[in-house]
């Protein structure tokens, strides 16, 4: 009895995988440790991995719901459907939590980009002053080294020295630009890898769906052929039953005719029948015992 009950309650492998996946997603999204939560907030790749796990859990849930429809025991079917409904609600809660993380990460990225734009828009007066002083110093040194009196030179209108922002940017933000380029390269590679992975999964799912459609079509044709064969058998059986029914009706009519012949004429007819039987018996006895003794 224990062996039978254990075998009846054992869940299928798909349900076990779904339960494990929901447990992992619960630990990662609902009750994460600080390291996992910070990693999900900072890394878009980890969030995309979690999104793929949520989609995989949904596919497992759909398969479990399809299997639950084939359960014949009503109590077990209701329990399974209730459990699957709770799991669907948990998956929807995981998806909402992931959307919240994506929105928070997007807001942080927008704040970081606005701060970088503010830093890039600031002027660098110290560097421009250094450049102007360096440009004036060689001229004064060359004039005093010759020993000649300084001629009266008409003042010329000096054009303002343009501020070389790229040099200032290189000197102030070299590490941030390199890190930004590295992050951009990593995000591009990650996006390409995810697109390739999703494309491969989509092709595999499409191929499996085509295979299932072909198998379903073949099963449908086989079922239709078996129905045609059984239809002929049913027609033959129906014809045989009709013949048997007609034979039974004919026998019933004969029995009714005999009944009317024997009992339809009442008491006088029955006595006449008994008289005929007695007369025939007397004639038979005479033929057997009396006629052989007669000599002509």
Please give the full DSSP string across the chain, using - where no structure is assigned: -HHHHHHHHPPPHHHHHHHHHHHHHIIIIIS--HHHHHHHHH-HHHHHHHHHHHHHHHHHHHHHHHHHTT---HHHHHHHHHHHHHHHHHHHHHHHHHHHHHHHHHHHHHHHHHHHHHHHHS--HHHHHHHHHHHHHHHHHHHHHH-PPPP--PPP-PPPPPP-HHHHHHHHSHHHHHHHHHHHHHHHHHHHHHHHHHHHHHHHHHHHHHHHHHHHHHHHHHHHHHHHHHHHHHHHHHHHHHHHHHHHHHHHHHHHHHHHHHHTTHHHHHHHHHHHHHHHHHHHHIIIIIGGG---
Other beta carbons within 10 angstroms of residue 54's beta carbon come to 19
Q: Which carries the bigger pLDDT value, residue 161 or residue 289? A: 289
Interval 115-150: pLDDT, tens: 555 555 554 444 444 444 444 444 334 433 444 444
**Among 27-36, 65-74, 134-143, the least confident range:** 134-143
Q: Which carries the bigger pLDDT value, residue 43 or residue 139? A: 43
- Per-residue model confidence (pLDDT) at position 118: 52
**Residue found by looking up tokens 């072909």 in the block:** 214
- Per-residue model confidence (pLDDT) at position 124: 47
What is 9-112's CATH number, 1.25.10, 1.20.1510, 1.20.58, 1.10.10? 1.20.58
Residue percentage of the chain with pLDDT more than 90? 18
Are 105 and 41 within 8 A, CB to CB? yes
Interval 80-121: pLDDT, tens: 889 999 999 999 999 998 898 888 888 887 776 665 555 555
> Does 248 score more than 70 pLDDT?
yes
pTM of the full structure: 0.38
């Amino acid at each position: 009895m224990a062996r039978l009950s254990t075998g009846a309650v054992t869940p299928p492998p798909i349900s076990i995988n779904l339960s494990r996946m929901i447990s992992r997603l619960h630990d990662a999204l609902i009750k994460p440790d600080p390291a996992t939560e910070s990693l999900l907030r900072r890394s878009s790749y980890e969030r995309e991995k979690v999104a793929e796990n949520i989609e995989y859990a949904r596919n497992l849930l759909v398969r479990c719901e399809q299997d639950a429809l084939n359960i014949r025991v009503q109590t077990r079917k209701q329990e399974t459907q209730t459990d699957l409904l709770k799991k669907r609600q948990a998956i929807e809660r995981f998806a909402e939590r992931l959307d919240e993380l994506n929105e928070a990460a997007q807001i942080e990225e927008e704040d970081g980009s606005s701060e970088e734009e503010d830093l890039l828009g600031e002027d660098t007066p110290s560097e421009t002053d250094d450049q102007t002083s360096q440009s004036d110093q060689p001229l004064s040194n060359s004039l005093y080294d010759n020993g000649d009196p300084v001629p009266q030179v008409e003042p010329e209108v000096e054009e303002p020295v343009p501020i070389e922002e790229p040099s200032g940017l290189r000197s102030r933000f070299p590490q941030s630009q390199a890190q930004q380029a590295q992050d951009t390269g990593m995000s591009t590679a990650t996006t390409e890898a995810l697109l390739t992975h999703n494309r491969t999964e989509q092709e595999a799912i499409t191929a499996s769906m085509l295979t299932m459609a072909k198998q379903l079509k073949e099963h449908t044709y086989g079922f239709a052929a078996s129905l045609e064969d059984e239809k002929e058998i049913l027609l033959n059986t129906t014809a045989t039953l009709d013949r048997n029914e007609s034979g039974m009706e004919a026998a019933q009519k004969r029995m009714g005719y005999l009944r009317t012949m024997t009992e339809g004429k009442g008491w006088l007819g029955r006595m006449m029948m008994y008289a005929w039987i007695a007369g025939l018996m007397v004639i038979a006895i005479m033929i057997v015992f009396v006629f052989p003794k007669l000599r002509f």
